[in-house]
Amino acid sequence: MTSMKQIGLILVLLVSSTVFAADVTYRVTFEATWSSTTHPNSFPPNPHFSPPVGAAHNDDAVFWSVGSLASDGIESMAETGATGTMVSEIGDAIALGQVFGAAVIAGGVGSPGIVARDFDITLEYSRFTFVTMIAPSPDWFVGTSGLELRVNGLWRDNLVIDLYVHDAGTDSGPSYVSTNFNTNPAIPISVIDTPPLATGGYAPPVGTYTFAVQAVEGRPPYDDDDMDGWTNLREAGVGTDPFLEDTDVDTIFDPVDNCPTLANGSQLDFDSDKIGDLCDNCPSTANASQSDGNDDGLGDHCDLGDGRVLFTSVTRTSQSWQNDSAFSDYNVYRGNLQVLRGGGEYTQDPAAGDVETFCGVGTASLNDGYLPAPGSGVFYLVTGIVGTTEQSLGENSDGVSRPNSRPCP
């Protein structure tokens, strides 16, 4: 099995790729819904949001994240609504080859209200960061951080992201209209769950971002310009040429080619995952998604040293996952699926039904034979432990980090 993996990687290195990085034009629409109805506690006068600012970028650029300290650009945006310092930081990332195009800036908007902005994105720069200050406020803001717009080879369309308010950790003012109260030293960025935005520990979203595809290389996204059976948008996600029916010129049309960006007339597929061995980042283990969280060229399904844990089997009596070399132990969380789907927490109160926490599991498996009541369901999440530090719960389907509100002690 190991030799097959090595051979697959060597072949990829020896063959010239014909990936076509089409420009995809998105429109992000910010609908501000923050009002005295949604957030009645001490609602301020003149509610508005500063001009949203951000960029399309690759994995190397991280402009902000929960649990990290705010940069000067994030601090300036969150406290004053100014975009200049943030644009400068984006410029630094452009110089490093981490950003596609230029900074993306929309107009400010009153709340409730709507503002929209188009931007271009491409295969190598498929993430999008966009932030705006909620005003008036001390240092509160909303936005996305490295939102992945291409998932499993598909560009996401009509994606709606709820916007929850974050505290930049640079001003300790407790209310919307507090005078400047510098936080020294600054504290990490966090999601706000206290008044006046929150009631009972929960703060409703203050708006949404909607991401809708407008064009591919200036052409309608759902047209099929090369008439090969794939829309222009589908080809842009795969990396094939939307204007050429056989991108790699191996006489096999793109829609039926299991490796459409590399000539492979044999169509070999050792693991039968419909991804040809020549393009498969894990050729000996089925992984149709081709996910590669650390971008090292080795797919998550066979990478046991990337710090990411995937379940390999979940049955009624046992659960097992990858035994990643980065971790010494694991924490496992069982929760109520209906509660989660209703907008509840990922790590739920153990006093509630169906909920259990298993801390410090020393192997990559668990024998939990819990049987939920008829009509109920449970889910499992696993985190790795490095030393005494628990890693994150990963990202949800929207590419947003899952909050761990009740971590193992």
Please report, for the domain that includes residue 118, its CATH number: 2.60.40.2130
Q: What percentage of the chain reaches a pLDDT higher than 70?
A: 95
How much is the pLDDT for 13? 36
Residue 357 lies in a domain: yes
CA 2 to chain centre: 31
Token representation of residue 305: 């040293």
| 87 plus 208 within the same structural domain | yes
CA 1 to chain centre: 32
How much is the pLDDT for 397? 67
Residue 361 per-residue DSSP state? E
Residue 155 lies in a domain: yes
Structural contact between residues 204 and 231, judged by C-beta atoms closer than 8 angstroms: no
Domain termination site, one of 193, 216, 239 = 216
Residue 288 lies in a domain: no
DSSP, collapsed to helix, strand or coil, labels residue 337 as: helix
| 210 plus 338 within the same structural domain | no
Could you give the residue ranges of the DSSP H alpha helices within 192-312?
232-238
- Count Cα neighbours of 304 within 13 Å in the Cβ-side half-sphere: 11
| 90 plus 208 within the same structural domain | yes
| 206 plus 319 within the same structural domain | no
- In this structure, what are the phi and psi dihedrals at residue 184, rounded to the nearest 5 degrees? -135, 110
Residue 131 lies in a domain: yes
| 337 plus 203 within the same structural domain | no
Cα distances from 19 to residues 25, 57, 58, in angstroms, run: 18, 18, 17
Residue 61 lies in a domain: yes
How much is the pLDDT for 17? 53
| 194 plus 320 within the same structural domain | no
Supply the DSSP string of 229-256, one letter for each residue: SS-HHHHHHHT--TT-S-TT-SSS-GGG
Residue whose structure tokens are 């169906």: 354
How much is the pLDDT for 11? 35
Residue 136 lies in a domain: yes
How much is the pLDDT for 398? 64
How much is the pLDDT for 186? 97
> pLDDT tens across 97-118, in order?
999 999 999 999 999 999 999 9
Structural contact between residues 242 and 236, judged by C-beta atoms closer than 8 angstroms: yes
| 210 plus 326 within the same structural domain | no
How much is the pLDDT for 300? 80
| 207 plus 58 within the same structural domain | yes
**pTM of the predicted model as reported, rounded to 2 decimal places:** 0.72
Contacts of 272 (CB under 8 A, 6+ apart): 286
Residue 301 lies in a domain: no
| 177 plus 32 within the same structural domain | yes
Strand duo 154-155 + 48-49: pairing: unpaired
Nearest to 311 by CA among 368, 366, 388: 366
CATH number of the CATH domain containing 340: 2.60.40
| 184 plus 40 within the same structural domain | yes
Token representation of residue 112: 């409730």
Q: pLDDT 10s per residue in the chain (409 long)?
A: 333 333 333 333 334 456 788 999 999 999 999 999 999 999 999 999 999 999 999 999 999 999 999 999 999 999 999 999 999 999 999 999 999 999 999 999 999 999 999 999 999 999 999 999 999 999 999 999 999 999 988 999 999 999 999 999 999 999 999 999 999 999 999 999 999 999 988 999 999 999 999 999 999 999 999 999 999 999 999 999 999 998 888 889 899 989 888 888 899 999 898 888 988 898 888 888 888 777 778 888 887 787 888 888 898 899 999 999 999 999 999 999 988 888 778 999 888 889 999 999 999 999 999 999 888 899 999 999 999 999 988 877 666 778 898 999 8
| 202 plus 76 within the same structural domain | yes
Domain termination site, one of 182, 216, 250 = 216
Note the maximum CA span of the chain. Answer: 69
Could you give the residue ranges of the DSSP H alpha helices within 253-354?
337-341
How much is the pLDDT for 293? 72
Other beta carbons less than 10 A from residue 273's beta carbon: 20
> How many whole angstroms separate alpha carbon 159 and alpha carbon 199?
28
Domain termination site, one of 195, 216, 237 = 216
Nearest to 395 by CA among 90, 22, 146: 146
Structural contact between residues 156 and 149, judged by C-beta atoms closer than 8 angstroms: yes
* Residue 68 domain boundaries: 24-216
Report how far apart the first and last C-alpha atoms of the chain are (Å, whole number). Answer: 39
The helix (H) or strand (E) run that includes residue 153 is: none
Nearest to 396 by CA among 189, 208, 151, 64: 151
| 203 plus 98 within the same structural domain | yes
> How many whole angstroms separate alpha carbon 404 and alpha carbon 396?
12
Structural contact between residues 345 and 365, judged by C-beta atoms closer than 8 angstroms: no
How many domains is the chain partitioned into structurally? 2
Residue 347 lies in a domain: yes
